[in-house]
Every structure is written in C-alpha cells, then in structure tokens.
Structure 1
Amino acid sequence: MTLGRRTLLALTAGVFTLAAAGPTFAADYTLRIHTLVKSPHPYNDMAAAMKEEIEAKSDGQIAVEIFDSGQLGQDPAVIGEMGFGTIDLMISTTSNAVQQIPEYAIFTMPYLFTSMDEALEKVGPGSPVQAHFEKVYEERGVGMKLLALGLSGTRNMSTADTVVNGPDDLKGLKMRTPPSPMDAKTWSAFGMLPVTVAWGELYAAMQTGVADAMESSLPGYTGSKLYEVAPNLALTEHTIQVNHTSISEPTWNKLPEDLQKVVQEAAVSANAYGVEKAKEYDGALVDRLVSDHGVELTRPEKEPFIEILAPLQVELAKELDLSEEYELLKN
C-alpha cells in the first residue's frame, strides 16, 4: 500500500505529538476528597498537599481529585456516602460530624484549650485522644477510618447588627449553631436563642434574619464572604477548631498495604501543614477583613466569658455523656 504525502505528514505529526506528551498511564485508583469550604482555607490547603504527596509517593498509582465548597454535598450526607465508598476522603470540622460521632461534641466546648500548640499536643497523631477516636469510629460503625485529627484556627463570634464587647451583648440574639448539643447548651448559657442551620445555608440565614449571630473560623468567615451579612466581628477566640481527616472504609480496604501507608502518611503531614496555615490565616485575615471589607472589629476580654462557662464544663460533659473525652483532654 502506498501512502500519500499528506497522510505521511499527518502520521509523522501524530508520532511527534505522542512523543512530546510522553507515555500516559491510567491510575489504578482515583480518590475523591471532599471539603465544605471555599479558599482560602486550611482544609483546601491540606487537600492540595495530600493530592501532591499521594500522587508523587504512589508513583502515579493513585490519582486524587479535590471537590471543595461542598460540591459533593453537606457533611452529614457526605459521611453517609463515604460508608458506601462513593466518596473517598473528607477534611472537615468535627462539629459537623456529631450526628454520626456524638463524642466529637467535646471539641465544641469553649475555652477547652489555651493555644493551638497545646491543642495539637493533646489531639494530634499518636496522641491518646486520636487513638480513642479511632476506636470510636470502629465501635460506631460509621464506615470511615480516622487518619488524623488537627486544628484549623480559632473560632470567633460575628453578628449582623450587634457590636459585641462582652457577654451582656449576646442576650436575646438568635445564635446559629451546627447540629451539636454542646453548642446549643453553651450559647444558651449567655441568654442566646440557638438556631440550628447547616453551614451551606448560613449566609442566607444571616441575610434573612433567621439568625442574628454566628461563630466560625476566620478562614471560613472570609472564604464564604460571611462578612457581608455579619460585619461585626468579635475576637472571642472561644474555641480552637478541631478537624478530622477521614477515609472511606471500603476505599481503605481496597488499597494494598503499601498504598495505605502512603495515604496515612500524607494525611499526617497535611495535618501539620494545616496547623501552620491556620496560624498564618488567623494572623493575616483580621487585618484584611478590616481594611478590605470594612468589618467592625472588637476584642472583648475573655475572662467574663470564661467565668460564665467554666462552671458548666464538667456539668455539660456529664450531661452529654462526654466525661471520658473531657478527662482525656484535661489530663
């Protein structure tokens, strides 16, 4: 068979194109990571770090796809999907998982830690607290394996109309809470009216007056543009937010041991990276919120808040069947 000149040129161009692109191989596994938040946020930084490390150290056997901003759904629904293995990994706050893991409610107890460094020492990889929650996952049969617990910054109060300088300013305000009994009971102690609202619905809730007040991390507040509907920010630093990196149990079980190790190590290193990013964001975001977005900033004294809540800690832990977790964190 004789090939025409045009055909030869086309084939030659195709060969050079393939050569330039290099060999392509399909990954043996594709892992989908869910986060609920928009960037900038430590969770998305952690997801990007995990993707880079997993793909590099698995020599391309694992491909990682990141779905941020709740593209795959809200956390409770995502946790259900992970039990089936349709979503593989998630990085999120523990407070959004209390429906499936009630013990996580302990981390929403205000003024439990004095700093992020102290908190990481208490809950980080290798700690008795992490081992405890790994066991809780197994006992509750949530269909997930806990890879790491970490921190994603302080949580602070913000309101639609009220400038907060102390506890008295909170009385009568409708306070948005996640589905966490600890949150509801905590804010009730200030005379607030708890209203349960999912994170993805929070902007609308503040905008329409369903809630008057909310609390969040600074990256979450900034990334979701909540300063537009809650422009009064009080740096109460009442909670150091604890996050979890978890993997679907069906996904984990189908990975060979060497790749399980790659994923586990990537979660631990991403966790440490997330803590550093959280510190960075907390420092930089306050200035930007004031200068770029006109946020009204106050720095209330913490002692009046602590005085109201301190007597409730042991009582709340006992009432919510969290005494074991409370003692672990306080020892």
Structure 2
Amino acid sequence: MTPFSLTRVALAACTTLSALALVPAAQAAELRSAEIHPDNYPTTQAVRHMGELIKERTQGRITIKVYSGGSLGSENDSIEQVKLGALAMTRVNSAAMHNICELTRVPSLPFLFRSTEHLHKALDSEVGEQLLRGCEKAGFVGLAWYDSGSRSIYSRSKLVKTPADVKGMKIRVQQSDLAVAMVEAMGANATPMPLGEVYTGLKTGLIDAAENNLPSYDSTRHFEAAKYMSMTEHTMTPEILVFSKRQWDKLPEADQKIIRDAAKESVPYMRKLWAEREQVSKAAVEKGGAQLGEVDKASFQAAMKPVYDRFVNTPETKELVSRIQAVK
C-alpha cells in the first residue's frame, strides 16, 4: 500500500470507527462501503439497493453510505480498511481476495463455468455459501456474490484467435497469482497493476493489452486505447461483497440477519442491471470504434492444464471444482 493509501486508511479509521460501534442495537449507525466503480455501475447501484432495504427494515436506524469511484482508494486499499474495521464493507472483484482468502480462487478458474446460468446456479448453491464462509478466518464475512460477466482480452494492435497470437504480449492482469499464471499459460507476459493505472499503461505502450468484462471496458474508456477486443471469455470471476468481521461481531444477531438477507436480495437486482449494462456497453464500445472478434476458445482452454495443476491441488479445492462442474 502506498503512503497516500496508508494515510487514507488512517483517516478513514479515525472518522468511521466511532460511527460503526453498533452497540447497543437501538443506536443509529451509518455503514460505510467502498466501491471503485462509478455511481451508475451495477455493483454500486446494487449495494445502494441493499442499503434501502436495510434502512426500511430498521426504520432508518441503519443506513449504508457508498463511496464510489475509487474515492477511498483501490480495491486492495478498501480490503485493508475493511479488515481493520475502518470500513464496514466493500464490493471487490474476487480476484482481489485470492491471496487473502484462497477459496475465492476457485470461481476464478479459467473456463470453469459453462454459461452465465451455470455460474448463477453454482454460486446460489451450498457451494457458493461454502466459498463465502471460507473468508471468515481472514477477517471477512462473505455476504453475497455479484456478477462480473466474462473477461476477454483487448489489445492496442490486433484481434487474436489463438494463444499463439498473444505470445510475448504484455497483458495487464489483476493483482492475483492465479491471474498471472493464467495469462502466462497462454504464452503472454502478465503485468499486474491496479485498474486505475491501466488506461495510461495502454496509451503509453507500457502494456500491449488487458483483460476485463465489457462494462468495465466501456466505463474505464479502455476501448479508446485498445480497440481490439477478442472474446476469449476465459473467466467469469465473480464480484464478492464482504463485511468487516470486527464490525460484524459487534452487531446483534437480528441486525446481522437483516444485513445478510438484504445482501442476498440485492443479487437478482444486480444481475438484472448487469445483463442490461452488458448490452449497452457492447453497443457503446462498438460505436466508439472498438472491434469485437471471436476466438478459438478450445485452444485457450487446452492451455489451462498447468493452471489447474497448480491451484486445484487440495482435497477441498478438488471437491469444490467437481461439485461446480456437476451443477446442471
């Protein structure tokens, strides 16, 4: 974490800890939540919807204030603030949790999910709950899974069809060892960096390409710097909504239930917004000059064996992968 980020964490801690001491139950509380995406992004709107449900069910006693647009720092910054108890919760891509909560790597495995429907069924099942529970020992209460669509590669110079076409490319990935291993298995050079640095990296040629979903490709304006998006759809890494265990343990059980139920009920709301946003974003990037092309997915999938060998290497992860693959 940078000195600037540490300062933000310290300031957030000073200003929020008193507001988040939720004892006794009758005391009003404002739960503060961090979000790197803008106000109109589906995840931001979903957390605000969750807040509306909580406010209604507590007669205004508990509310959520969402700090959007990365105003409290990067996803890694917000995760640290939640762990410290300086923030109540945050919504992050689950890749940001990989090195903190190892089970979050499972739904990020390449080509694990056959379709969006398969993803939803798996994450709505006991498997999804088991994955969320896996974060508690790290200091986080997993509340819900949100959609993040499928991630594809976009390049400054060309459309790609097979792994041979990305060989030697410098591709930005999320700051996750799994993401690095996946791109390296394709033959490219993985370059981890925060999302906020990617536009400049593409513009200056520091990186040749990046990978993300269509709404992020649109909202970050990356299509202006990398006009060629190849629909590899290599992962469907979901978003995760996590609550600070330090703050959670101060809550009465009745309030915990209200918050957890509201989080679950925000999921279908988010999915509807996401599906709509994907179509809007596809039209927007194409209008902005982006070219979207199909790829030979089988060739990319065949390159992923080393990734599975490395990350699906315990009885628990093997069982979870098998159970996900068995979901019909």
Question: TM-score when scaled to structure 1?
Answer: 0.84
Deviation digits for residues 268-295 of structure 1, max 9, x if unmatched? Answer: 011222222222222232122111x111
Deviation digits for residues 174-231 of structure 1, max 9, x if unmatched? Answer: 0111122222121112210111111222222222222111111111111111112222
| Matched letter for residue 295 of structure 2 | P
In structure 2, the residue matched to 1:73 is 73
| Matched letter for residue 222 of structure 2 | L
In structure 2, the residue matched to 1:307 is 302
- For residues 20-59 of structure 1, what are the structure 2 equivalents within 5 Å? 28-59=28-59
Matched-pair identity in %:
24
| Cα distance in 2 between the residues matched to 1:287 and 1:93 | 24
- For residues 156-305 of structure 1, what are the structure 2 equivalents within 5 Å? 156-291=152-287, 293-305=288-300
| Cα distance in 2 between the residues matched to 1:68 and 1:99 | 24
Whether the aligned pair in 2 keeps the contact of 1:314 and 1:323 (CA below 8 Å) is no
| Matched letter for residue 303 of structure 2 | I
| Matched letter for residue 166 of structure 2 | L
Deviation digits for residues 77-111 of structure 1, max 9, x if unmatched? Answer: 22221122211111121001112112222233221
In structure 2, the residue matched to 1:129 is 127
Deviation at 1:305, TM superposition (A): 2.0
SS in 1 for 2:73: coil
SS in 2 for 1:153: coil
From 309, 317, 328, the equivalent of 2:311 is 317
Distance 1:257 1:181, change over 3 A: same
Which ranges of structure 1 fall in alignment gaps of 5 or more residues? 1-25
Question: TM-score when scaled to structure 2?
Answer: 0.84
Whether the aligned pair in 2 keeps the contact of 1:43 and 1:91 (CA below 8 Å) is yes
Which ranges of structure 2 fall in alignment gaps of 5 or more residues? 1-25
| Cα distance in 2 between the residues matched to 1:171 and 1:256 | 54
Whether the aligned pair in 2 keeps the contact of 1:171 and 1:192 (CA below 8 Å) is yes
RMSD, aligned CA:
2.1
Deviation at 1:61, TM superposition (A): 0.3
Deviation digits for residues 239-260 of structure 1, max 9, x if unmatched? Answer: 1131111111122222222222
SS in 1 for 2:233: strand
Deviation digits for residues 137-163 of structure 1, max 9, x if unmatched? Answer: 233xx2221111232212121111222
| Cα distance in 2 between the residues matched to 1:28 and 1:223 | 35
Deviation at 1:319, TM superposition (A): 5.3
| Matched letter for residue 44 of structure 1 | T
| Matched letter for residue 196 of structure 1 | P
Distance 1:71 1:37, change over 3 A: same
SS in 1 for 2:241: strand
**Structure number, greater radius of gyration:** 1
Deviation digits for residues 289-308 of structure 1, max 9, x if unmatched? Answer: 111x1112212232232233
| Matched letter for residue 283 of structure 2 | D
Once the two structures are overlaid, the 10-residue window that deviates more, 241-250 or 317-326, is: 317-326
SS in 1 for 2:238: strand
SS in 2 for 1:110: coil
Distance 1:40 1:218, change over 3 A: farther
| Cα distance in 1 between the residues matched to 2:114 and 2:223 | 26
- How many corresponding residue pairs? 300
In structure 1, the residue matched to 2:14 is none
Whether the aligned pair in 1 keeps the contact of 2:109 and 2:235 (CA below 8 Å) is yes
